[in-house]
A and B are shown apart, each in its own frame.
Chain A
Amino acid sequence: MADIANIAVSILFDGLAYAMFLFVVSVGLSVTMGLMGFVNLAHGAFAMAGGYLVVTLTQSWGVPFVLALAIAFVVIGAVSIVFERTLYARLYKAGELDQVLLTIGLSFMAIAAYTYYYGPIPKSVPLPGWLEGQVDLGFRTFPTYRAFIIVIGAALIAILWYGFERTKLGAKIRAAVDNRRMAQSVGINVDRLFTLTFAVGSGLAALGGGIAIQLFGLNPSFALVYLVLFLIVVAVGGLGSVKGTLLAALVLGIFDTGGKYLYAEAGGFFVYAITVLILLVRPAGFYARD
């Protein structure tokens, strides 16, 4: 009995940490897709760029890890505005195929550029001592770094919830996601709103990329390898919904971890099985806005 409880705690804890990573990276993708209907397959490239920025800051410049994460959020967010204004903005009215071609092309270019500059060898980051090892909660120990991911994830959820539900800016974004033309006609500058959410989303992806180095290691192919996972979270959660993205990340993260823990033979199958099941019942995801 104690064994079963122990296993359940393991799965919940590890699954929660994994879910937080998925949420942080995917939430920006979901909101930009919901807001503009823009298919941004270069989202993973922003995450990868954020990861490399954290590597350079910590290894070459001696910046502390947590500060480096914050810098990556700001810098990549700012850089993404340049891309959004010069490249993405031209294709808002174009078809999905054009958007996909542009952004997947950007991903390939990013992979090639980062391979050229950093090489293909996976990078890692020096963690501060307080993030290494385990924390002892009395009844059992947990890896400190995963607890840290859960804390960061929880803090971001609180901030995003407040921003979305309790500020005027959040109300405008929600209005624009629901009905863009109506929002424009009452005087909301949807283009500027989009630039802003795009930057925040890309910044969060960069933050997620920084967090992920310790989990998966970082090499340039990060831009594409985990993209499928992020797209699944977005699809299951429903486009443009923060709540949906969170729920999807939790369900997928915990089920994936549990599946791997209990039935490793079925391996990566669980995440796809559950995706198919959910989409069969709710084709537009958990919280779809028609």
Chain B
Amino acid sequence: MRLARLAACAALGLGLCASAQAETIKIGVVLPFTGVNADLGTQIDKAFDLYVKLHAKDIAPHRVEIIKRDEGPPSGAVAKTVTTELVTRDKVQILTGYVFSPSAIATATVATQGKTPMIIANAGTAWITNLSPYIVRFSFSMWHPAYPMGTYAAKNLGCRTAAMGYTDFPPGKDSTDAFKMAFEKSGGKIVMSVPMGNPAQVPDFTPFFQSMKDAKPDCMYIFIPSGAHATGVMKTYGELGMRKAGVKLIGPQDLIPDNKLQDMGDAAIGTIVMSHYAVDFDNAQNKAFVKAWQQAYGPNSYPDFMSAAGWDTMHAIFATIKKLDGKVADGAKFVDTIKRWSGEGPRGPVRIDPDTRDIVQNEYALEVNRKPDGKLGVKTLNVINQVKDECKALKVGRCGQ
């Protein structure tokens, strides 16, 4: 059979034989490697590198060439510039990464015009996936954790009133909108909503938190872009003695990224988040993932929710390359294939909803506690299976466009 194909190749000239040859697929990775949020880029970059290292053989004879570029500050301008360069000069066939929503929002037109698949590994503002038919998201929409949290907080956590605080950029507004809608539907009341500075700089959270404390809500729902902000939130919450004052801290997973949890101390205990990932998850995929991670990056290094999404992103890209036998030049065909992907990852079962090109995943209500070994960990309080982006399902605002 193989001989026959070779003979046919020889007879018809070299042009046809190229199809049987190994392809090199160029993947452009855009992540923040500098600035306050550099560690967010690192968390995803490490997951990408690890996946490529362990699974390069899966796509043989094809291989990938990764070209990394700095996403820059969370304004989107740098991300758009480097993405344009990746598409026009480096001729990448697939774009991935994108931690910040403004980056993905600014870059969407580049993906459309370049007909290049843009596989988002983090940026969570819900309506991003509507901006280009070439966008597929493997991380989350802000509504994935925030909407179920609104319901859960009102019904199960005894929050009758809540204050909301958010970092003042698109996903912050998105997250609090989602929480508010679900919380009020379940009979809760929002007493105040406080914007807390921009994502490029960790503010002194004290004035914001003090004003929330003085409003005496049952719960405070906080969205910050994880990273350095999360540490600041937890410190200030502890310093102001807010738990003792009866204000519960709740939010999306960004509040307790696994790689910073151990440094957060006792202030974090009792915090409840809605999340799609924690290092402590007890599934086989996650155990293998964490083990490989710590072998590669040291026993005190932890992957977090961004790393888990990064891992699944690269997993799906590889699976699609394999399925298309390395022929990824047609961006529309690549998107059409990857949007039907489903698989098992560190997060558990995940798939893409082909209609919205957004992720479908389980959401877990997690409470921070101290484990028997003295380290901080999380306890799963509740699981909501296979959650879709509620913003697009309900057609709220720009999600309906």
* Interface positions of A (Cβ within 8 A of B): 3, 6-7, 10-11, 14, 17-18, 111, 115, 119-124, 132-134, 141, 143-146, 214-217, 219-221, 225-226, 257-258, 260-262, 264-265, 267-268
Contact = CB atoms under 8 A, between A and B. Distances in A.
B210 A219 contact: no
A241 B259 CA distance: 43
B258 to A, nearest CB: 12
Contacts of B201: 225-226
11 contacts: A14-B204, A18-B204, A115-B38, A122-B260, A146-B239, A216-B228, A216-B232, A217-B231, A219-B39, A220-B38, A264-B211
Given A143-B241, A221-B38, A124 B235 contact: yes
A66 B263 CA distance: 19
A225 B203 contact: no
Given A121-B259, A143-B239, A145-B239, A264 B196 contact: yes
Contact of A261 (B195, B200, B211): B211
A121 B241 contact: no
B228 A219 contact: yes
Interface secondary structure of B, over-half rule:
helix
Given A267-B197, A268-B197, A119 B204 contact: no
B367 interface: no
Given A122-B228, A217-B232, A221-B35, A10 B210 contact: yes
A4 to B, nearest CB: 11
B239 A6 contact: no
A221 B202 CA distance: 11
Contacts of B260: 121-122
Contacts, number: 106
B349 interface: no
A200 B232 CA distance: 29
Contacts of A120: 38-39, 41-42
Contacts of B239: 134, 143-146
Interface string B197-218: 1101111101110110010000
Nearest to A216: B202
A264 B235 contact: no
B132 to A, nearest CB: 30
Nearest to B245: A141
B215 to A, nearest CB: 11
Contacts of A145: 239
Nearest to B264: A124
A134 B39 contact: no
B24 interface: no
Contacts of A3: 214
Contacts of A115: 38
Given A121-B260, A143-B240, A225-B201, A265 B38 contact: no
B36 interface: yes
B228 A264 contact: no
A264 B39 contact: no
Nearest to B259: A121
Given A221-B34, A225-B200, 11 more contacts: A3-B214, A14-B206, A121-B42, A121-B259, A123-B263, A124-B263, A132-B238, A143-B240, A215-B232, A216-B202, A217-B232
Contact of A267 (B195, B200, B210, B259): B195
B231 A124 contact: yes
